Structures are given as C-alpha cells and as structure tokens.
Structure 1
C-alpha cells in the first residue's frame, strides 16, 4: 500500500513540475504549445523514472534495462488511456470531463501495476538469486 501512495505522490509532483515546465516554456521563452508540451513531458518522464526507481520501488536493478521498460510501459499506458478516452466519449457518450477522469484512472492503475511487476520487478528473485537486504 505504501508503494501505491508513494507512486501517487511522485505522480502529483511529476505533474506539477511538468506543467510548470510547459507554462514557463510558453510564457517566458515564447515557445509554441506543442514544443512546450514535449519539453514538459520529457522533463516529467525523467523525473518520474528517477523518483519511481529510487523512492517508490527502491530498485537496485540495472538502470538501462529499467529505463527501456519504463518508456515502453509509459507508451502502453498512454495508448490505453487514449483508447479508453475515445471509447467513453464516442461509444458510451460520456461527458468529456468524466471520460478524462476514467481514462486517467486506467493510466494510473496500468502504469503502477506494470511498473511494479515489470519495470522495477525484483529480477534477482525471478532467477533464483539472492537480493541484498535493504534498510
């Protein structure tokens, strides 16, 4: 349960910083919205990976492999989010605001589960190795 709470805290912090980057890029640097959005998400992905790796899941795995898996699950969770959003709006005819909430929940749950059991999974245990104890 603590991992889920930490994951939520990281997500909130990450979102705040990502939006700050987006608005600074637009307001201070005069960048276009799409360019600013890309910059904000790029910063957000880096922050999310570092904090989730070190704070949420306290991983000691190989960072390179975890980063590749993290980018993959980010793309999968985003595509699932988009698919749910489109289904809710166009087929279920749910109000767009509520559809965003449902799609966001799908993204959050899917990304947490995939991060826990795929990206930052304890691979030493899966191979029969022994992992050093952590404080």
Structure 2
C-alpha cells in the first residue's frame, strides 16, 4: 500500500506540491478572512454574511499576491492575471454570500462553523479555476522566460 502511494505521489508530484502550496496560501488568506469576520461580528459592526464578505476581500488580496507568486508561478502579467483572478474571485464571493446566508442565517449554524464549511466548498471552485484559467501559463511564455536566464 505504501509503495502504491509513493508511486502515485511521484507520478503526480508537481500537482501535489502545487495543491499543498495552494492550501498553505489558502490558510494564510483564511486567517485574514476569519480575523476580519470575527472582529466585525464580535464588535457588532456587521452580521455574519456582511462580515464574511468583508473578510473575503481581505483574504482575496492575500490570496492573489501569494498565489500569483508562489503557487502558480504565473507567467501572465498582472494585467493578464488580475482580471481573470477577479472573475474567479467574483464567483467565489457570490458563493460565499449564498452559503453563509444559508448556513448561518437560515440553518442557524455558528458563524465560524458556517465559514469553515463555506471555505472548504469554495476552495474546490477557486483552485480549479485559478489553476486552469486565471493563472494558466501563456503558451510558450515559460520557455521564453527560461531562455532569458
């Protein structure tokens, strides 16, 4: 069993490392998101949904900076990657609002638990869309960049 897992990891090492980096960046962005959420709710500046969406903006800024640099080593310029990132994040923003409304307000879950569930579900969307579209390499750009070194 261990040999099979080791072989699978070796075959998919680049993907596994990219996903692990994405999770690390996501945890950092989530810390900013959750801190903003908790601060706003606990100090009664906003309810769970509005506070979550405010935290989402904080987390998105952290996510863009770290993912473009470390996770995806994007060969796209910021002018090319940022609008794509914003499109993916915009959909994730709407999903976050809907899920938080459903989980925290309609189902009555504790707002931090609702946010944890929401974060896990939205992560599936964002990783896939960032990897395949927002930070996808421009054809030939990596080869050109290596040739410059």
Smaller-chain TM-score bracket:
0.5 to 0.7
Task: Give the distance between the partners of 1:129 and 1:20, measured in 2 at CA.
Answer: 37
SS in 1 for 2:144: coil
For structure 1, which runs of at least 5 residues remain unmatched after alignment? 87-96
Instruction: Determine whether 1:131 maps to 2:106.
Output: no
Aligned-residue offset at 1:129? 7.9
Larger helix proportion of the pair: 2
Task: Give the distance between the partners of 1:39 and 1:130, measured in 2 at CA.
Answer: 39
Aligned-residue offset at 1:21? 1.5
Give per-residue Cα distances to partners, 1:72-131, cap 9 Å, x unaligned.
112335667859xx8xxxxxxxxxx9xx859934x3233212111211111142xx7843
Check whether the contact 1:124–1:131 (CA below 8 A) recurs between aligned residues: no
CA-based RMSD: 3.9
Alignment length, in residue pairs? 122
Instruction: Check 1:113–1:47 CA distance in 2 against 1; reply closer, same or farther (3 A cut).
Output: same
1:1-135 matches, within 5 Å, as 1-27=16-42, 30-33=44-47, 34-77=49-92, 104-105=120-121, 107-125=122-140, 130-133=143-146
Q: Give every structure 1 segment of 4 or more consecutive aligned residues whose post-TM-superposition deviation is greater than 6 Å.
A: none
Give per-residue Cα distances to partners, 1:46-83, cap 9 Å, x unaligned.
11111111111122321132111112112335667859
Instruction: Indicate the residue corresponding to 1:89 in structure 2.
Output: none
For structure 2, which runs of at least 5 residues remain unmatched after alignment? 1-15, 103-112
TM-score (norm 1): 0.67
Give per-residue Cα distances to partners, 1:12-50, cap 9 Å, x unaligned.
22112211122223445x412254333211111111111
